[in-house]
Structure 1
Amino acid sequence: MKNTISFRVADFIKNYPPFNEIKLKDLEELSQEIKIIYKVRDAVIFDEDEKAHEYFYMVHKGAVALSRNADNEIVDLCDEGDIFGLRPLMANEDYKIGAKAYEESILYAIPISNFKVFTKSREGVSNFLMESFASNTRNPYSVGRKGKLFQESPEISVTPPTNDLLDLQSVNYSKKLVSCAPDATIKAVATNMTKKKVGAMLVLKDKLPSGIITDKDLRNKIATGKFPITARAKDIMSSPVITYPTKMTLAQAQMAMMKSGISHLCLTQDGTPNTEAIGIISKHDIMLELGNNPAVLMKAINRARKLKKIKRIRHSIMSLLKGYLAQNIPLTLISKIITELNDACIKRVINISLNKIDSTPPVKFAWLALGSQGRSEQLLHTDQDNALIFEDVPEDELGNTKKYFIELSKRVTKGLHEIGYEYCPAEMMASNPEWCLSLTEWKERTQHWITNPGKDEVLLSSIFFDYNHTYGNQDLVQQLTAHILSTTQKYPIFFVHLASGALQNPSPSGFFRSFLVEEDGAHKDFFDLKRRALMPLVEGARVLVLSNQVKSINNTAERFEKLAEIEPNNQELFLACSYATKALLKFRTKQGLLHNDSGRFISLDTLSKEEKIKLKRTFKTIKELQELLKIRFKVANLVG
């Protein structure tokens, strides 16, 4: 009869490197020698310079902090599935860093003497251990690993969107190659091309591309009688085949076709005819991709005269988003491009609405995007949050002026609804008279929120204070921003209430950092990615930038990056927050596209172990940020 405990240990460790390189039968034998250790928070596992143990360790539940020096500087955090304490296994030396339980934890102690045999017999095991020992880190936010979470590439700086983005956009190509041998008859080739509905046939010799036959070849060489239908593929094929590597951008494909005067490109493993063919690109493929190019979409938006046209363009924007995510383009760039296109759609709706009103605006005004759109984080189709500011007018003109802008706002919000933005359930839209005010009225409204920070006022300000100028007069927005920053500095108690509100979001994890899911309602047993993970970061960034008098930066990740500049002592934490924000937003967007919803509520059963671990790693950063907010704004001392 199997040892139930050791069987469970083997079932757990088999999913993580280096144990995934070992046969299950061997793991089950090894697991019988593994000790299970329970540690309370802050319990020492081993100290720096301590004599080496006979074991190295794996985290089963909880987390372990690795620290160095007398100041207990944390150099890394080990999560579920991470191993640590490798020095006695690799170098036969005393420990150079200390380890203690960062929270209540269960550890597996793996005996070095029993494990060593696998380091000699399994190359994958030894390579992993050497890399782990050499890198000395598992923190996904450490300097050497920035941007790796959820395969996020290092960020690049580029201004969106221009024709230069053709150089970033990869073309989709057909991986289902239709091919024939050089001796195949033209009749067979034509029949197969008709059956498969393709415009080109690749001729392969020993699995390598030898030539290509296109519709043009059939017209020019067969239909004209130059060659009989009984001729062979090698007689009419174009050769040699022009080949390129699979990682080809839209611009490169266009240039290659123009340069060679051809309509099809063959893609091979290394880009030469000497390796196996992988795919084929046609001019038709290029034309389809051009339709989803941001520069082309921007022109189409600006030319649109009807809302139906803009709605169709927004579908193309979603296709572009899917393509960028599939290509793993950095989220910072994706957000900028999609935000620019969404803003252009909103501007076009406003222009169309203005044209439908007989009279021109009585005074200057500005349209504000609020919430996720204001933060340039609205990648999916969600509801609309917006507001309108208009220039101050004499008291006797206020009524008619406001009437005009409410009428305009109703047309705009209706138009936004028609192109895919749902109405805000709480009516936080410019069509609501409460969100369509003069500059002075907005100053008074925001001052009331700041000086009387009750629960409702904090909620309203948290939504409104992420506004971004979308259309109209920029100076009105700048005046309001200056007023808000000035007022918050005079009433610092507001930051305490704002920080308190930021800490009200439910924790993402519970005992042993298991995911906390919704206990009732329509989304029972689902994980609320927005409230439990994203919002603590969003709201933490907001209160910190306001308290630091930072203006004109609304994006959460960019706010944290600016905070890292302002506060070098907290640089590591703020950069971790920035990367966690981008990782979570990217994850939510992918989930939303996959399930055709907002991506907010996640069924944990649909996630892989790797995805769950990566999500949990962001929870550490959230917890550290919340601790900073509590200390800095003395939230624990807030009464009532």
Structure 2
Amino acid sequence: MSGRTAAFTGTVRAAMQPPPCLTATTPVAAAVSAMADARQSSILVVDGEGAAIGIVTEQDVARRITFQVSADTPLSAVMTAPVIGVGPGEPLWRAVGLMRLRRLRHLPVLDAARRPIGMLHRFETYAVASGGLLDLLEALLAEDNEEGFAQTRSAQAGLARSLLDDGVPAADVIGVVSEINLDIHRRCVERALAAAPSPPPVPFTLLVMGSAGRGESFLFPDQDNGLILGERPDELHAAVDAWFIPFAEDLNARLARAGFTLCKGGVMARNPLWRKTLSEWKQQFTLWTERRSPAALLFGDIAFDFRPVWGPAEPAAELRAHLARALALRPAFLAALAAEDAKFAVGLSFWGGFRDDEEGPGRRTDLKLHGLMPLVSSVRLLALREGIEETSTRGRLATLAAAGTISASERSALDAAFGIIVERLLRQQLDDLAAGREAGNLVDTAALAKADRSALRDALKAVATFQKGTRAALTGGL
């Protein structure tokens, strides 16, 4: 992963340095000496509990201390307060954007009690996001509300284009887009909680599913989410549900205002089917694997890529373990799912030409439906059969190869196919937006250079072979 990609996918913990700390009564002369000895350009001022209450930088030394005050002046008289800081888990892209927006040279990293645990310095931090990406970081850091989040989502197209042009692989770019989207989800939860009339009656975990759960979102995805609620006595069911019904409605509405359209299939927390206690989720998964109805197969295709993004992660881990046990006991479910997924054939004709999925005179190919999804679903099926917890396609391929389920060469070919299909889809979406069209999944294969068409054709052939092999492995068919 390139340094520029790391600016968006990493946290501030990876970029911070140890911060020198002194008390408010420390004389400025001692503070200047401490800065020189530590070869640092700033010092944090802390109170008796160790919490940050101010900051003194080399610019303060030049403007407020040198020839201005006596050597025994306490730091409290010259420090800048209050301290603007971020938490160690804050995405690095937000921290860089905040420094850029506030024109900060130093940004303290503080724990929950506001005790300093690190410091970000502008020069070193900007180095991971040099060039034009700095402007994009500032554009991405819109106002901290749903309307600002929608602007952030719009700015993602510019970010994606810049990263692609910088040589970042498209598979990494959609990972960056996904991480920013998950950050927006978390902030929408926080705002919905702040707007609620009371704290939640039980703990809960927000799950994202589908492409969000895999970390493979393209531009402008819709919502696929649900809640795992904490257990409650039966007699409190009505009271707990009475709190979560308006909360879930508000959360989904906030996400919609932030640019995540409502799921047409209703896979959202406001739908009771996707808002349950852990025991109810387990029962639901068991029921799906037992009945193997068309609805169960459809829901499984979406839900089994679930990933926790807010709240305690333990319920999601326990649900993942339960799913592995349920599928091991009922392998017929995966066989039925393989047969269902096989209906989505790759976008090649019998003679090797590209499939025509466009209505009217056009001849564009739906590379999501007839390229990406056959690969994603086939990899998912094998990962579920093996009880693999990883949800991303590339992560699943790596784990399957490490376990010997697929060969190293097969993993390499499928990794390459994934990257080629993702790049064609993402570039087509960017071209659609540039032309004033809605970003879609129909790719103009005729407009591709000959080498790109050949590479795409080979990628789809590799997916078709893998899809047939997976179906045979799971169903016993040829």
TM over 0.5: yes
What do the CA deviations read for 1:222-247 (whole angstroms, capped 9, x no partner)?
A: xxxxxxxxxxxxxxxxxxxxxxxxxx
Instruction: Give distance in 1, aligned partners of 2:361 and 2:237.
Output: 45
Q: How does 1:223-238 map to 2 (within 5 A)?
A: none
Residue 451 to residue 523, structure 1, CA distance change in 2 (3 Å) = farther
Instruction: Give distance in 2, aligned partners of 1:322 and 1:165.
Output: 26
- Equivalence for 1:198: none
- Equivalence for 1:4: none
The answer on whether the counterparts of 2:206 and 2:309 sit within 8 Å (CA) in structure 1 is yes
What displacement does 1:535 show? 0.6
- Equivalence for 2:461: 620
Please list every run of 5 or more consecutive structure 2 residues that lacks an aligned counterpart in the other structure.
Answer: 16-95, 97-128
The answer on whether the counterparts of 2:229 and 2:278 sit within 8 Å (CA) in structure 1 is yes
3-state SS of 1:512 partner: coil
From 124, 127, 134, give the equivalent of 1:290: 134
- Equivalence for 1:161: 10
Matched residue type, 1:578: D
- Equivalence for 1:583: 420
- Equivalence for 1:600: 441
Matched residue type, 1:356: A
Which one has a larger percent strand, Structure 1 or Structure 2? Answer: 1
- Equivalence for 1:549: 387
What displacement does 1:544 show? 0.3
Tell me the TM-score normalised to structure 2 length.
0.70
From 310, 317, 342, give the equivalent of 1:478: 317
What do the CA deviations read for 1:92-114 (whole angstroms, capped 9, x no partner)?
A: xxxxxxxxxxxxxxxxxxxxxxx
Matched residue type, 1:477: A
What is the aligned residue count?
361
3-state SS of 1:469 partner: strand
The answer on whether the counterparts of 1:557 and 1:582 sit within 8 Å (CA) in structure 2 is no
**RMSD value, Cα:** 2.9
Q: How does 1:55-454 map to 2 (within 5 A)?
A: 160-162=9-11, 289-293=133-137, 300=141, 304-454=143-293
What displacement does 1:522 show? 7.4
1:571 aligns with 2:408: yes
Instruction: Give distance in 1, aligned partners of 2:360 and 2:316.
Output: 39
Matched residue type, 1:292: L
Residue 499 to residue 287, structure 1, CA distance change in 2 (3 Å) = closer
- Equivalence for 2:21: none
The answer on whether the counterparts of 2:171 and 2:422 sit within 8 Å (CA) in structure 1 is no
Residue 561 to residue 592, structure 1, CA distance change in 2 (3 Å) = same
What displacement does 1:159 show? 8.7
Residue 165 to residue 504, structure 1, CA distance change in 2 (3 Å) = farther
Instruction: Give distance in 2, aligned partners of 1:345 and 1:629.
Output: 36
From 485, 495, 502, give the equivalent of 2:334: 495
The answer on whether the counterparts of 1:527 and 1:601 sit within 8 Å (CA) in structure 2 is yes
Which one has a larger percent helix, Structure 1 or Structure 2? Answer: 2
- Structure showing greater relative contact order (alpha-carbon pairs closer than 8 Å, 6 or more residues apart): 2
What displacement does 1:592 show? 0.5
1:629 aligns with 2:470: yes
1:504 aligns with 2:353: no
Please list every run of 5 or more consecutive structure 1 residues that lacks an aligned counterpart in the other structure.
Answer: 1-151, 167-250, 252-284
Instruction: Give distance in 2, aligned partners of 1:633 and 1:398.
Output: 40
Instruction: Give distance in 2, aligned partners of 1:335 and 1:163.
Output: 21
The answer on whether the counterparts of 2:5 and 2:168 sit within 8 Å (CA) in structure 1 is no
3-state SS of 1:437 partner: strand
What displacement does 1:636 show? 2.9
Instruction: Give distance in 1, aligned partners of 2:230 and 2:338.
Output: 32
Q: Name which one, 1 or 2, has greater alpha-carbon Rg.
A: 1
What do the CA deviations read for 1:569-598 (whole angstroms, capped 9, x no partner)?
A: 622112211221122112211110110234
3-state SS of 1:329 partner: coil
Residue 163 to residue 322, structure 1, CA distance change in 2 (3 Å) = farther
The answer on whether the counterparts of 2:344 and 2:373 sit within 8 Å (CA) in structure 1 is yes
Matched residue type, 1:616: R
Residue 325 to residue 498, structure 1, CA distance change in 2 (3 Å) = same
Matched residue type, 2:469: L
Instruction: Give distance in 1, aligned partners of 2:252 and 2:133.
Output: 31
1:533 aligns with 2:364: no
